[in-house]
Amino acid sequence: MSDNSSSSSSTNAFFAGRHYFVLLAILLLFIGLVGRAGYLQVYNQEFLLDEGSQRQLRTIATPAYRGSIVDRFGTPLAISTPVDSVWADPRQALLDKPGLEKVSELLGLDGEQVETKLKQRADKEFVYLKRRIEPELAQQVVAEAKGVYLQREYNRFYPASEVVSHVIGFTDIDNIGREGLERIYQDWLKAKPGARQVLRNRKGEVIEEIAQVTAARPGNDLQTSIDMRLQYITYRSLAKAIKYHAAASGSAVLLDASNGEILALANLPSYNPNQSSKQAAEKRRNRAITDVFEPGSTIKPFTLAAALDRALFSSNDEIDTAPGYMKVTGYAIRDFRNYGVLDLAGILRKSSNVGASKIALAMESQELWQAFNDYGFGQPTGVDFPAASAGYFSHYTDWQPLDHATMAFGYGLSLSALQLARSYSLFANDGILNPLTLVKQDEQPPGRQVMKAVTARSLLKMMEEVVGPKGTAQQAAIPGYRVAGKTGTVKKTAAGGGYEQDSYMSVFAGIVPVSNPRLVMAVMIDEPQQNGYYGGQVAAPVFKEVLTHALRLMNISPDDLSTLQQIAQAAGREVL
């Protein structure tokens, strides 16, 4: 009995000791865990925050590229290329000041300014340090410091640079269109970034793709009506003329006569859209669309057309312009010299102000106004462009008799180079006025018949004499082709009113080939200072140079074989 009691007591003592041992072990483990937690919380808090923030699930943006802009044949005019932007998490980056200083040095930034910027945004998780840098430099930067990361973006690049900058425009650093087609078609071109969940390591690198939240959508491409072959030629020819004549500026517009598509549009001075922030606003203005000028004698064909349309004159009618001037309400309207009796073609060929004024005054002011209004003066061209001008054309009720007379030769109204080119397309389209476009059309929008077809053809034949041997635009003649056009030499308005005596705009508008009109071009050169200032001397040669190349590139057959035969015979060759 006593042995059993002794054995039972020993067993109970053993189990009691083991129980206390287990409790003691659990207590020590608990104390160890609490101590470790306290140690980590007190002494390693920043380390844990840093590690936790760099090893976590995040939703990040998936970049998408903006739509490209191309010419009518697909040549790139504006494209998006991938680049990297450097950003930082201020809470992490400020813990590594030596690394942050190295990053600032690599990025060419002031270290103190970068640190101040991050401190001011310490409550943020995302602060840009520098955007759009070279990939090689970007990789160097992120290797230098904690809390500095890369974000993939797209940079806009313009391969043709200043040659077509006024048409295409440019985007800002956030890829938002600010000028030109980039601005007009912002909603069409813009991309829609996506979103995805990823797991990042402590270096900020994505180590695992978890899920696609929303898919990225690239922007839509835009095909323009511009032919870059003709655009380069137009820009080069305009630049050469401006340099040769020491002019202030110039514009040129080339149209497809059949459908209103703009094949080339050039302005000088120009700018480089790849460095748009460094360019003066004055250079960024699309003068061919936004700037207006009095067109001078280039309006005379429309004065004659208005009279012919109303059967007030016929092509064979003659007008006495002697003695070379006429007075309207005491103001003298003068010709260059006394041309005597001229038919309507002669009025254009000699560019007679007196003849044009007599024709205009034979019409009621309302009739002349209505005709010019129908021909597109003072009307939008159909091109939706920032700051596009509809020109200035006052209502006939505001005209004085002198206004009525001078309107006949292009004083008292203003239009842009684009409007002038559009109006001249009437003569190429049998009197149909088409809306213009900078975007390639799948279907041609309907035009309006605003001039009788027979009138348009008659004026086309008259203007062919202007480019002939006895006309004012001999330098617009293109061997092998019948060319029609009209010159204009316009005195510039003075700041205090009236006109300056020695400051001009030289203008020419023309059509080719006359037998089957395909191309219309208007050229305006502002303030030529040397080597002449008449439209036939300054603007007409630009037309000739551009159209000579255009006709060949577009494979348009010659329609004046007799002239080619004469040239060939003079050179001892034979035309087949």
Q: Is 503 noted as a catalytic residue in this protein?
A: no
Sequence-distant (6+) residues with CB within 8 A of 322 are: 338, 339, 340, 341
DSSP state of 523: E
Nearest one of 165, 225, 289 to 439, comparing CA atoms: 225
Q: Are strands 262-268 and 331-334 parallel, antiparallel or unpaired?
A: unpaired
Buried b (16+ CB within 10 A) or exposed e, 175-194: bebebbbbbbbbeebbbeeb
DSSP notation for 384-433: --TT----EE--GGG--HHHHHHGGGT-SEEB-HHHHHHHHHHHHTTTEE
User: What is the token pair recorded at 386?
Assistant: 């920032």
Edge-to-edge order in the sheet of strand 57-62: 57-62, 194-200, 206-214
Sequence-distant (6+) residues with CB within 8 A of 180 are: 165, 166, 167, 168, 169, 170, 286, 385, 386
Dist. CA 268–CA 528, nearest whole Å: 13
Q: Are strands 222-223 and 69-70 parallel, antiparallel or unpaired?
A: parallel
Pick the catalytic residue: 237, 297, 414, 425? Answer: 297
Sign of the Cα torsion 143, 144, 149, 150 reads: negative
By the 8 A CB rule, do 418 and 287 touch?
A: no
Dist. CA 321–CA 353, nearest whole Å: 9
pLDDT in tens, 429-450: 999 999 999 999 988 888 999 9
Nearest one of 307, 427, 298 to 353, comparing CA atoms: 298
The parts of the chain modelled with pLDDT lower than 50 are none
User: Residue 49's pLDDT is what?
Assistant: 55
User: Residue 110's pLDDT is what?
Assistant: 86
Cβ count near 549 (within 10 Å)? 17
Please provide residue 60's backbone torsions phi and psi, each rounded to the nearest 5 degrees: -120, 160
User: Residue 63's pLDDT is what?
Assistant: 75
User: Residue 25's pLDDT is what?
Assistant: 76
Please provide residue 75's backbone torsions phi and psi, each rounded to the nearest 5 degrees: -70, 125
Map out the domains of the chain with their CATH numbers.
Answer: 58-223 (3.90.1310.10), 228-570 (3.40.710.10)
Dist. CA 279–CA 228, nearest whole Å: 23
Dist. CA 539–CA 241, nearest whole Å: 8
Query: What's the Rg (C-alpha) of the chain?
Result: 38
By the 8 A CB rule, do 219 and 256 touch?
A: no
